[in-house]
Amino acid sequence: MRVVVQRSLEASCKVDQKTIGKINQGLVLLTAFTEDDTMDTIEWMVHKVLNLRIFEDESKVMNRSIIEVGGKILSISQFTLYGDTKKGNRPSYIRALNGKQAEQLYNIWNQKLSESVPVETGKFGADMKISLINDGPVTILLER
């Protein structure tokens, strides 16, 4: 499982020119799954994301989690995070989990996150247009 975590001032997702997910302060999570991912993987990653101390405290030190600042999550599925370009210039997506299984894990991922913070989502498998004002910028790559 790979997750790109981006601290956001505001972000949105459009499909067919219609906004389907929108947040203000919070995190944009670009998420991809691979065949080795399990419920344990998801639970570990949920814990990691929810407890990442990447929001500033009153001293301007990144010392607070999304839970502590009352932020929201915009969760986007993005299988291209498993694009392998070691050979040639066209990425290979062999390590990305197939659509049906990946969608099931994506839905579980979002449900687990939403138990602690509000979660907006994109649409799995859709052509999405993501807008983001990255705060900082702060971008973290998580992998398990």
Query: Which residues have a catalytic role annotated?
Result: 78-80
Measured N-to-C along each axis, helices 99-114 and 39-51 cross at an angle, to the nearest 10 degrees, of: 40
Distance between CA atoms of residues 21 and 27, nearest Å: 13
Q: How far is CA 43 from CA 49, 102, 110, 125, in A?
A: 10, 15, 11, 23
Torsion angles phi and psi, residue 111, rounded to 5? -65, -45
